[in-house]
Amino acid sequence: MTRQTLQIGLAGLGTVGTGVYETLCRNHDLLEARVQMAYNVRKIAVRDLSRPREVEVAPELLTEDWQELVNDPEIDIIIELIGGTKVAYELVKAALKAGKPVVTGNKALLAEYGSELFRISLEKGVPLYFEASCGGGIPIIQSLQNSLICNNVESITGIINGTSNYILSSMEKGGVSYADALAAAQAKGYAEADPTLDINGWDAAHKALILAMLAYGTPLAPDKISVYGIERVTSTDFAFAERLGYTIKLLVVIKHHKEGDRLELRVQPSFVPQSHLLSKVDGVFNAIAVKGDIVGETVFYGRGAGKNPTASAVIGDVVLAMRECRHPEYHTGFLPYTKKMAVMPQEETETPYYVRFLVQDRPGVIAAIASELAKLDIGISATSSTPHDMVDGMPRNNLVFILHSCPWGRLRKALKALRKHEYIERHPAVFRIETFTNN
């Protein structure tokens, strides 16, 4: 068989880019045998030619000008792994307009510019592949596009940030504080020196937007998703969660509400029943539960980040791109069908809640809080109390209410009314309780 040697341009030689280049070189013969097509890495764009690198690369392969990848007529496929959004956006847009398929793992890029880039991809008939943008080595993108293609997706719920999951797992299993768990994650390389996007929920939110756009074919902007991080999770909340039969996970929740044809989009630390598979996902591992109207619930599990898992996902897309360069009419890059779907206001989203107040130890406190909740028709299913904290040398009770399902806006009004009461020492800790059922 005559083989056409496909030429690959790689943008970015950081952690993931290095893993991709090493694998393309180390497993070169294996990949060619499986794909039945020859390939070669023709050019690599980097930010700084003088920077020391973990992998040996022939100097003639390197350039500081990413436009050389786009303008080189010999390059067939471009891999974008430079990170950030501004330069990556210009590169991906230019490549698509030049008719070159693009493989990217850039979740922030797709969350911010995905709608536009998918539109260009559709107009030009040039595929954009992005398996590595969500869940590292977990094949969630291809599963949604192919294996689950006949399903109306009812919900996607998942743990898709390994750093936050490692921190929460350490707090639960090791009994350490949030600060100590974060420091341990940084020491082991699971968290960046600046872990902001991981712990404030926005890394997970970027992935959630991509999954929602893919599952529902609707353009979505970052301002449409409600995002809360793990910064206020405490060991006290883990102790109550265990007593009540739950654990705490940073969850992405995407739900389709048939009434009104609306999407619910949120990221927040939530109480997860110990009976659900997601409660067993610990450390840096990720898991994504997809519920379809035909298949029911499926769960995808694996390492969600790191050089090798992410490189595996990138190269899987490169193989697809190589095959589809031969048969472009069958390409499986995302083809948006631009269904217009409204996003449900967070005030209207409903779940049960865990609310923990730090209160003065005095008669009538429980009755007073219950009265404020009752005014807004918020039911209480259970209460619990422990004299756990000392404030200014005085004992204070942790008073927990488990509330029946109600709209978040209604609970916010009740909490606002409760702030005026002098017996409540601090803002309460509030967590949604996930029931894993759809409206």
Rounded CA separation 24/36 (Å): 15
- Tell me: pLDDT of 380 over 60: yes
Question: pLDDT tens for residues 387-408?
Answer: 666 666 777 889 999 999 999 9
CATH architecture of 144-303: 2-Layer Sandwich (3.30)
- Residue 327's SS3 state is coil
Task: Give the pLDDT of residue 10.
Answer: 98
CB neighbour list of residue 111: distance below 8 Å, 6 or more residues apart: 205, 206, 207, 209, 210, 222
Domain 6-136+307-330 shares a fold with domain 349-433 = no
pLDDT mean over 311-340: 77
122: left (phi over 0), alpha (psi -120 to 50) or beta: alpha
Task: Give the pLDDT of residue 336.
Answer: 55
Residue 100 near residue 78, CB atoms below 8 Å: yes
Question: pLDDT tens for residues 112-166?
Answer: 998 899 889 988 989 999 999 988 888 998 898 888 989 999 999 999 999 999 9
Q: How many CA atoms lie within 13 A of 260 on its CB side?
A: 12
Mean pLDDT of all residues belonging to the chain: 90
Residue 106 near residue 78, CB atoms below 8 Å: no
CATH architecture of 6-136+307-330: 3-Layer(aba) Sandwich (3.40)
Question: pLDDT tens for residues 405-439?
Answer: 999 999 999 999 998 888 888 789 999 999 986 54
Rounded CA separation 265/298 (Å): 20
Place of tokens 């301002």: 223
Which of 100, 207, 291, 307 is the catalytic position?
207
Task: Give the pLDDT of residue 436.
Answer: 81
Rounded CA separation 422/360 (Å): 9
CB neighbour burial string for 360-396, b if at least 16 within 10 angstroms, e if fewer: eeeeebbebbeebbeebebeeeeeebeeeeeeeeeeb
Task: Give the pLDDT of residue 418.
Answer: 94
CATH architecture of 349-433: 2-Layer Sandwich (3.30)
Dihedrals φ, ψ of 274, to 5°?
-65, -15
Task: Give the pLDDT of residue 324.
Answer: 85
Token couple for 22:
């090493």
Rounded CA separation 358/425 (Å): 6
DSSP-derived letter for residue 427 is P
Question: pLDDT tens for residues 31-46?
Answer: 999 988 999 999 999 9
Task: Give the pLDDT of residue 52.
Answer: 87
Rounded CA separation 332/214 (Å): 12
pLDDT mean over 346-354: 97
DSSP assignment of 334-356, as one string? Answer: --------EEPPGGG-EEEEEEE
Dihedrals φ, ψ of 198, to 5°?
-75, -50
Question: pLDDT tens for residues 209-260?
Answer: 999 988 998 878 889 899 999 999 999 999 999 999 999 999 999 999 998 8
- Tell me: pLDDT of 331 over 90: no
Q: Is the pLDDT higher at 320 or at 4?
A: 320
Question: pLDDT tens for residues 51-91?
Answer: 888 889 999 999 999 999 999 999 999 999 998 999 999 99
CB neighbour list of residue 241: distance below 8 Å, 6 or more residues apart: 247, 248, 271, 354
Task: Give the pLDDT of residue 337.
Answer: 58
Per-residue pLDDT band at 207 (split at 50, 70, 90):
very high
Rounded CA separation 286/134 (Å): 10
Active-site residue 207, yes or no? Answer: yes
Rounded CA separation 109/313 (Å): 17
Domains in the chain: boundaries: 6-136+307-330, 144-303, 349-433
- Residue 125's SS3 state is coil
